Chain A
Amino acid sequence: MNREDFTILKDTNMVYFDNGATTLKPDVVRDAIVNYYDKYTSSIHRGDYKNSLMVSSMYDEAREVIRNFINAEHPSEIIFTSGTTASLNDIVFGYFKHHLKSGDEVLITETEHASNVLPWFMLAKEMGIVVKYIPLNDNNEVTIVNLNTVITDKTKVVSIAHITNVIGDIRDIKEISKICHENNIMVVVDAAQSIAHTKIDVKDMDIDFMAFSGHKAYGPTGIGVLYGKFNLLRELTPLEYGGGMNAIFNKDGYVELKDLPDKLEAGTPNIEGVLGLTESIKYIDKIGIDKIHEYESYLRKYLIDRLSELDFIKIYNKDNEAAIVTFNLDGVFSQDAAIYLDKYNICVRAGNHCAKMTKDVFNVANTVRVSLSFYNTKEEIDLLINVLKNSKNIWEEIL
């Protein structure tokens, strides 16, 4: 649905199935960026002329749009960063580095993306916290029962993806938060794969910190969001210092920082990114996140049903939920499969998808991943199936 909103989808036979890596951008997002450059380029919060004042107010409005979208309490709980990775690094090194001590335990899972693993590993090396894994059930999901088996009195943080990027299981964040908070454990959510695909309500889910990227939500690259409960963000030590975030500084070294959110956004921000992201979030809101979720779930089921017809395809996440389907063709390395599909203008991802520990879960390191969006269609899935059906010719095609 809504394919007409995307110039890139007009007059093309491209089938874009790599939405887990990045989504395509609707024209409204492009226009927001172009208009900023063509009509009112200026810095924000520093100029006393019309354009600067206007862009400043657009920038401030952006925070309100995001706040409303995830139902945060206050716009100052929305911090613009360069993406999920930057947000998670802020959370780990800006907050937890100053609030954890050696021996404290952080729970993640083996199916996390690198950006929710490596910062914790580095912190473990730096200060002796312990990273442990929540065991997954047979369907590679986090269950409350399993979570309870690894919580100890040293557990201080559970840091997990809302939806994982290879398996596509949807975690029950609300229920997990409840258990965590009963045990005085803080909850960090990597929402990179979920923000554009399923409803997130940070208050209802009682999330302490959350991170997501704009570009996986129909927005520009290089922009993302760090969400934190106000009182927690206030205690987050900035990782970057400079213009825009200080209130006073003197020759003798005295520095006073501004309040939230400015304190955590040093330097001239990514203004085009923020304006583009605002449009993408408004755009998702206009279609309706529940409608998107429903349609993508329907497409996923159709894809699974059709792929299951092919006996040379092994599907790794048949019984999971999100619009991510991971598989391999018998006897074909995933990258060769991706190169073959590209001959038919079908864009998929091959590899380990930055979740390198997932190999221990699947017992296979590399897979082909189809990740769907609302602009994908049944006809595109039919084409994929036909091309796969004819893949006996794969070597003639790619060698």
Chain B
Amino acid sequence: MDNDMKRSIILDNYQDAKNRCVPQNIDDYIVINSNNQSCIDNINIYVKLDNDKISDIKFDGEACVIAISSTSILSDMLIGKTTNEAKEILNNYFNMIEEKEYNKDILGEANVYEDMYKQPSRKTCATLFARGISKIFNKE
């Protein structure tokens, strides 16, 4: 994927982020706040679980272009997955951000952040959503 393509995917997911709203039946959702203490990104993530399946994810809050776009892309990717499938995707995502070995094939659009390791200060932005939602899965 070239840089123009990556930029365009990131911008689309920033300016018109998917799943960015507070859910209507908020009581059906698990809510988790994710923020970066070193900067000012701060979002609430709402996750609806149907037994072992993630039936919906929503989010709201304020954050930078990298944090919002990655939340949009990853949330969309995880809806409909089982928690184990979600964990697998997130592990690969964390590995990519940390420049470790990972499976490119299961990350889809999230591959736009493959060079993020070159900007250490923005790694926390790129993992804002992933760290937040992982807290839910790791509790179980």
Residues of A at under 8 Å CB distance from B?
331, 333-336, 339, 350-352, 365-366, 395-396, 398-399
Contact = CB atoms under 8 A, between A and B. Distances in A.
Q: Interface residues of B toward A: which range? A: 10 to 19
B99 interface: no
A395 B11 contact: yes
Contact of A336 (B6, B7, B42, B65): B65
Contacts of B136: none
Contacts of B15: 331
A395 B40 contact: no
Interface of B: 6-7, 10-11, 15, 39-42, 62-65, 68
A114 to B, nearest CB: 14
B40 A399 contact: no
Given A366-B62, A395-B65, A335 B7 contact: no
Contacts of B63: 333
Top 5 nearest A-B pairs by Cβ distance?
A351-B40, A335-B64, A399-B7, A333-B64, A336-B65
Contacts of B42: 365
24 contacts: A331-B15, A333-B63, A333-B64, A333-B65, A333-B68, A334-B40, A335-B40, A335-B41, A336-B64, A336-B65, A350-B40, A351-B39, A351-B40, A352-B40, A365-B62, A395-B7, A395-B10, A395-B65, A396-B7, A398-B65, A399-B6, A399-B7, A399-B10, A399-B11
Nearest to B125: A335
Nearest to B40: A351
A339 B119 CA distance: 12
Contacts of A352: 40
Contact of A335 (B6, B10, B11, B39): B39
A351 B15 CA distance: 20
Contacts of B10: 395, 399
